[in-house]
Structure 1
Amino acid sequence: MNIMHPTLRRLDLNLLPVFDAVYRHRSVRQAAEELAMSTSALSHALSRLRATLNDPLFYREGHLMCPSVYASQLAPAIASALAHLNHQLTPQAEFNPATTTDCLQIAITDFTALSIFPALMAELQYTAPGLRFEFRYLPHSPALNELLAGEVDFALGFSAPQDSHYAELDEIDWFTDEYVVISNPRRQQLTLDDYLAARHLVVTPWNESKGVLDRELERLGYRRQVAIKTPSMLSAPFIIADSDLLMALPRSAAEKLKQAAGITIFALPFAVPPFEVKIYSHKRSGKRGAAQWLHKMLKELPHMQTTRNT
């Protein structure tokens, strides 16, 4: 048996604005004018409320409707509740990217942020200069559970397992890339034997025990020597540049990091599936205007970049 809110279940909530208006105006006529009701309809509503609450609520003194002690106790809570509901139920203003200061929560890794946000922020500085972001590192990828729970507005990640598709989520296939290997500039070649003989630095954002490359090597009957596992990609290229370690990563990231560190890029000496980055968002985001606009922007961004560069 449902016993939640027993008083509210027997109370017509439409009577609360009547109470609030009479309390503020101390007048049935003025309250009726504010609520666009006839005085007889308002008087009838007030009678129903008196019967429900078992209190006279107001009594006439001259031309004024004076509140009872109980009405005076109720009035602040009713006024506050009505004001809060009115604010929350007011239709959202149409989203304006040029003036928004909304803040979106984005689940990322170092690599997904590097893949998406340089191009995105280059565009948003013109179209939505006040739109803000907070990056969140989460213990797994993609962060679909957090997205479904409304803890984040977007999740940047790799392809989700086939059985984790949710009808509530939208996906953008951001890009597909190939794996390459970076090394210090002293290395002249990289064969499979060279790769297996070397020690490796592996970025594990979620502290995973095995990555895509390790699983593929195991399938081929090989195993690599991991010297360093780190959750962050920031220091990795500089460690590689000053050591004999190797590191595998997507080509787009390697090309960007090559500009900052003295590294050489080699083809991966064995075949692996391509690297896919996806952008996930909830179809009914709590920040509906900003999230829908950004989703549309992200889908159009590759074309916009091409147009801007021509």
Structure 2
Amino acid sequence: MMNTMHPALRRIDLNLLPAFDAIYRHRSVRMAAEELIMSTSALSHALSRLRIALNDPLFYREGHRMCPSVYATQIAPSIASALAFLNQELIPQPDFFPAVSSDCLQIAITDFTAFCIFPALMNRVQHRAPGLSFELRYLPHSPALTELLAGDVDLALGFSARDETEHPDLDAICWQRDDYVVISHMQRSHLTLKDYLAARHLVVTPWNEAYGVLDLALERMGHTRQVTVKTPSMLSAPFIIEESDMLMAIPRSAAEKFARTTRIKIFELPFYVPPFDVKIYTHKRSGKRGATHWLKNELQQMANELAGE
């Protein structure tokens, strides 16, 4: 089957287009040759080839000037625009230097992932990369696969079960392994499975999911829990728990931080749910490879330091 893609382009050596553009702008073969750093004879030869390819004289000599034909005048703006666009788009990616970078990284988050990562991250990078900025985006699912693959976000902070199969186009590093605990008001003295099932519950659903990991675990045991409040935000939830008789399952790291600022009590979850990982996801072909690679290294070092505490 004959290849019919770009038939006009396949007839022309595209290296001839800068020659056309330069002659059109300068109206001079000599000045165009100087700009392109080539000999006038080489440029004249290029013009001859282009005349044959386009079947048009393109330029007429009038005295010392090269005057464009009607067809040359017609195509000149499009050629100039295409060359400018390609020149801009094909600039090689610059090396990333954190101390002078002004890149903006778009990062997909939830309340929890921002809460557990960004305070320490900003403390770390504010001196190493003072010009680096971040745009945090809440997304309706995890781990923001579609947005990462499309280049809409540069990194995603998401949850992952230990046995989850990762997408082949994504890189992921484990920031933190965590497990669930239960928080309650201060008056509660103990928490059994019977107590848990009898209580009312507040559930955080960042992606408006109908069932969470805990609900599925309870279902396998033949139980359900009474969900009284669903909220997409974790940040207000502990304050609601403090003032009510509801229970809330929450990652241990977040519960310990909230316990410093609210009057809540922490209990072990009275049934087994596997630990989960908080992961940093990036696309293997990210458009900001230098910045994302550097930030991933910083995050990995932070994770190693936290694991060694």
* TM-score scaled by length of structure 1: 0.92
State the SS of the aligned residue for 2:285: coil
Partner of 1:181: 182
Q: In the superposition, relative to structure 1, how do residues 137 and 103 fare at CA in structure 2: closer, same or farther (>3 Å)?
A: same
Give distance in 1, aligned partners of 2:194 and 2:306: 41
**Contact 2:180 / 2:275 at 8 angstroms: preserved in 1?**
yes
User: Contact 1:199 / 1:227 at 8 angstroms: preserved in 2?
Assistant: yes
Q: After TM superposition, list the pairs within 5 Å mapping 1:73-222 onto structure 2.
A: 73-159=74-160, 164-222=165-223
Distance 1:205 1:132 in 2: 24
Q: Note closer, same or farther for the CA distance 1:210–1:217 as it changes in structure 2 (3 Å cut).
A: same
Cα gap change, 1:275 to 1:245, in 2 (>3 Å): same
- SS state at 1:291 partner: helix
Of 294-303 and 118-127, more deviation after overlay is shown by: 294-303
How big is the shift at 1:177?
1.2
**TM-superposed deviation, 1:4:** 3.9
In 2, the alpha carbon distance for the partners of 1:20 and 1:81 equals 11
Please give the per-residue CA displacement for 1:108-159, whole angstroms capped at 9, x wherever unaligned: 1111111111111111111112212222222221222221222211111111
Instruction: State the alpha-carbon separation in 2 of the partners of residues 136 and 286 from structure 1.
Output: 18
- In the TM superposition, what are the counterparts of 1:25-64 in structure 2 within 5 Å? 25-64=26-65
Identity %: 70
Query: What is the number of equivalent residue pairs in this alignment?
Result: 308
Whole-Å separation in 1 of the counterparts to 2:187 and 2:89 = 63
The alpha-carbon deviation at position 162 of structure 1 amounts to 5.2
SS of the counterpart of 2:95?
coil
* CA distance in structure 2 between the partners assigned to 1:305 and 1:274 by the alignment: 17
Matching residue of 1:280: 281
Unpaired segments ≥5 residues, structure 2: none
* Structure 1 unmatched runs, 5+: none
Name the structure 2 match of 1:23: 24
What root-mean-square deviation, in Å, do the aligned CA atoms of Structure 1 and Structure 2 show? 2.1
Q: CA deviation at 1:161?
A: 8.2
Contact 1:203 1:231 in 2 (8 A): yes
How many angstroms does 1:260 deviate by? 2.7
Q: Does 1:257 align with 2:258?
A: yes
Cα separation, 2, equivalents of 1:297 and 1:194 = 43
Task: Tell me which moved more, 244-253 or 226-235.
Answer: 226-235
* One-letter amino acid matched to 1:90: I
| Alpha-carbon separation, structure 1, partners of 2:11 and 2:165 | 44
| Matched-pair contact (CA < 8 Å) for 1:142–1:160 | no
For 2:191, what is the secondary structure of its paired residue? coil
216-225 or 229-238: bigger deviation? 216-225
CA distance in structure 1 between the partners assigned to 2:85 and 2:216 by the alignment? 55
Moved more, 68-77 or 101-110: 68-77
Q: Displacement, 1:303?
A: 4.4
Q: What SS does structure 2 have at the residue aligned with 1:159?
A: strand
Match of residue 226 from structure 2:
225
Deviation at 1:10, TM superposition (A): 1.6
Distance (Å, rounded) in 2 between the aligned partners of 1:153 and 1:94? 17
Asked if structure 1 preserves the Cα contact closer than 8 Å seen for 2:162 and 2:277, the reply is: no
Aligned residue for 2:73? 72
d(CA) in 1 for partners of 2:297 and 2:213? 31
Residues 163/181 of structure 1: CA separation in 2 closer, same or farther (3 Å cut): closer
Q: Is the 8 A contact 1:250 1:275 kept in 2?
A: no
One-letter code of the match for 1:199? R
Equivalent position SS for 2:147: helix
Query: Scaled by the length of structure 2, what TM-score is found?
Result: 0.92
Separation of aligned partners in 2, 1:142 and 1:151: 13
Displacement after TM superposition at 1:278 (Å): 0.9
Q: CA deviation at 1:305?
A: 6.7
1:224 and 1:206 map into 2 onto residues whose CA distance is 19
